[in-house]
Structures are given as structure tokens and as C-alpha cells.
Amino acid sequence: MHILVLSMAWRKILDGAPGGRMPKMGLPWCTGPTKTRPSRRELCLVHIKETTMRAGDRNDPHLHTKTLRRATARSLAHAAMLAMGLACMAHAARADDRFPGKPIRIVVPVSPGGTVDLVARLVAKGMSEDLGQSVLVENKPGASGLVGTREVARAAADGYTLLAVANTFVSAPAFVPEAGYDPIKDFAPITQTVLIPMVLVAHPSVPESSVKALIERARAHPGQVSYASSGIGSTGYIAAELFSKQAGVKMLPVSYKGNAQAITDLVGGQVMVMFDQVSTSGPYVQAGKLKALGVTTSTRSKLLPDVPTIAEAGLPGYEEDTFNAILAPAGTPASIVLKLRDAVAKALQRPEVTAQLARQGVEVKLDQTPDGLGDTLRKAVVKYRDIARDVAPSRP
């Protein structure tokens, strides 16, 4: 195939088209009566010789031959490069057209049961039906999500290994220098999938029932208002530290091994407040076991419509969205990224999927292109690094 393309490219250089110019050589095509003129190849070679004689030493019998050889070599090189480029492009196009030619794997770097896992499974089911190829979900928990994330970062950039993530994917390297991956350089963004509102909840024994009152207490008693989270760099931890930074207060972090244990102690009164997903804390609020002070998003939650946003309740400008996204290894071809993005969007736009997620307070969010998601990730990196420096000034 490559030899055929090369032969065709060389023939085009020598024979050309009427009225054109020879590529890279700048020589006019030879013209004349068809029946009496020499061939175009002969006339063009003569033209090269005559041009060389005008430019060089007419008495050097070897000059013209050398020049002609150099011109021919350059033309052959150009033709070869053109042929190889066309062949590579054709091969890549065929590969993209055939995608996917085998099962796709979505790695979830946390244990089954959470929102990231749920969304990934809904996406996998819809993608499989749309693409006509199996899409499998594989949970790879460990080291707070680092194990599965590193695996995808090292995977082949062919679109067959994807990563389902939440905010912690971006925040982890800011708080854990040995995370072992760069959220921008090591991954190709595909699409954001959902937004998950969080809510600031307090134990009923806490006398303050508003964001403004809680801030005033924290200012009056630095380090005495305790908040629960599932550890440094978790979504709840980041939301609380961002709250403290913007309010100019100091709260006391209490870390747990998991979110379930943190909620248990909050309901039991061992800690005062917590930033948690609406889908998790909402039932406790509705049962009167916790009280909601404000949601972290820019708009109110449909699950808790009577609860104001934190921004409107006493801390203007505060907003911390918890998002999920799908990514691929860096270097994945753009055409494959777009094909995957379309498949994810179709999976999440199904009415039954949207309704299932809405019942849990999860909003489908597909209004970003891959480049748009990339911008969101870059802004999040800057924000989380700033928070990490405030918490631990010794960090770089």
C-alpha cells in the first residue's frame, strides 16, 4: 500500500496538471502541441538543466547532473514523506472508525456503593447499549483512590480504559504530595457527569441554627467548633476549610476512616457540624436527627428546597460543587474522546436515569465539552492548592 502511494505521488510530481507548478521546485509546467512536443518529463528535465546553466558554470559538465540528482532526491524525499503521512492518517482514521473494537473498562477508584460507583454503572449500561460493545465497571479502591487512579494514568491511551472520579481526584495531589499523578498532565478530560449538592448540617444540640450565627460563634471561640470529615482532602474536609477561609474563622477538624462513621458520630452528638452530601444527610434532616444550615451550591437543592444556600444565609460568594467526571489517559485521540463523550451523554440523558439520580439529589450535568472540563479541573487545582497551603503552610 505504501509503495503504491509513493509511486502515485512521484508520478504526480513529474506529470502534474496543466497550468500548475511543480511542488517544491517552483518550475512551470511545459506546454506545447500534444502531437509534436516531447513528453512533459523530458521538457521539465531540460528546463532544470537550462536553469542550472544560467545560475552556474556552463563549462562544468558535471554540475547539471549533480543538480538534477539533488532536485530529484529532494522530490523523492518529499513524496515519501507525503506518502507515509497519508498512510498514517488513513490508518488512524480506520482505527477511530472501528472504535470500540473490544470491551471498554471504567475504573472506579473507590469501593462499590457511593455516588461515583452508581453513576459509573449507569453510564456503563447506557454506553454498552449505544456502542454495541461491553462496558465494564471495575472497582479499584485503595489509598483513598490513588491505586485506581494511578493505574489508569499508566494505561494505554486508546480509549479502552477510563476513570470515573469525584473532586477528590483533583484535591488529592494538593494534600498528598506523593499522590503519584498529575490531574492535568496525565489525563484527557472527556466530560463532567453530575453535580452533587452538599449541605452544612449540625447536631440538634448546637444552639446556632443559621450560617451567620455559626460564623459568629466560631469567631468568638476559635478552634472550638468541631466538624467531622472522612479525612484530609475529602470533599467534606475541603468544603469546611473553604468555609473557614472565606469566613475568617478557625474550626476543629475531626477525621474518620469513612463518611458513614462520621455521620454516625454527628448524629450521636460527638461532633457539632459536618459538610455532607444532601443525598446522605437529607433523610436525617427530614427525620429531625440533624438540622440543615445551608447548601454549598449556588442554587437550592430540590431535596431540601426550604434550606438556603450558604451564600444567601450569611457567607456571600461561598460555593463548593461536588462533581463527578469521566477521564481517559493523556494522549487519547480527540476523535475517540468525542465519541466517548457522546456515548456518556446519551447514557445519562435517558429519562429513567435522570429520574433515578434526581431522587438521590444528584443533578445530571453535561453542559461541558472536554476542553470545558479541562478548564474546570485547572481552576480546581489552583483552588485546592491554595487551601492546602493555608492548612499546611510548609507545603510547596
pLDDT one-digit tens code per residue, 360-377:
889 999 878 999 999 999
Strands 322-329 and 187-196: antiparallel
Digit-coded pLDDT (tens) for 258-315: 888 999 999 999 999 999 999 889 999 999 999 999 999 999 998 899 999 999 999 9
DSSP for 201-262 reads EE-TT-S--SHHHHHHHHHHSTT-SEEEESSTTSHHHHHHHHHHHHHT---EEEE-SSHHHH
Residues in the chain: 396
pLDDT range class, residue 27, cuts 50, 70, 90: very low
Burial 192-201 (b: 16+ CB within 10 A, else e): bbbebbbbbb
Query: Is the pLDDT higher at 5 or at 208?
Result: 208
- pLDDT reported for residue 258: 82
Q: 41 in helix, strand or coil?
A: helix
pLDDT value of position 302: 86
Statement: residue 32 has pLDDT above 50: no
Q: Would the pLDDT of 30 be above 80?
A: no
Burial, 376: exposed, middle or buried (Cβ in 10 Å; 0-12, 13-18, 19+)? middle
Asked if the model's pLDDT at residue 48 lies above 70, the reply is no
What number is the average pLDDT over the span 333-347?
97
Instruction: Match domain 104-196+324-391 to its CATH number in 3.90.1140.10, 3.20.20.70, 3.40.50.150, 3.40.190.150.
Output: 3.40.190.150
Domain extent listing, the chain: 2-98, 104-196+324-391, 198-313
- Partners of 165 in the beta sheet? 325
Looking at residue 7, what is its pLDDT? 45
Lowest mean pLDDT among 16-25, 299-308, 374-383: 16-25
Angle at 196 between CA 315 and CA 158, to 5 degrees: 130
Domain 198-313: which CATH number of 3.30.70.1880, 3.40.190.10, 3.90.1310.10, 1.25.60.10: 3.40.190.10
pLDDT of 257 higher than 70 = yes
Contact in structure between 313 and 294 (CB atoms under 8 Å): yes
96-123 per-residue burial string, b: 16 or more CB within 10 A, e: under 16: eeebbeeebbbbbbbeeebbbbbbbbbb
Rounded to 10 degrees, the C-alpha dihedral 219/220/226/232 comes to 30
CA–CA gap between residue 390 and residue 253 (Å, rounded): 14
Q: Is the pLDDT of residue 140 over 90?
A: yes
pLDDT of residue 143: 84
Count Cβ atoms within 10 A of the Cβ of residue 328 and give its class: 0-12 exposed, 13-18 middle, 19 or more buried. Answer: buried
Contact 319, 311 (CB under 8 A): yes
pLDDT tens digits, residue range 68-106? 566 666 666 666 676 666 655 555 555 567 899 999 999
The answer to whether domain 104-196+324-391 and domain 198-313 are alike in fold is yes
Q: What percent of the chain has pLDDT over 70?
A: 74
| pLDDT (average), residues 56-66 | 54
Q: With H, G, I as helix, E, B as strand and everything else as coil, classify residue 113.
A: coil
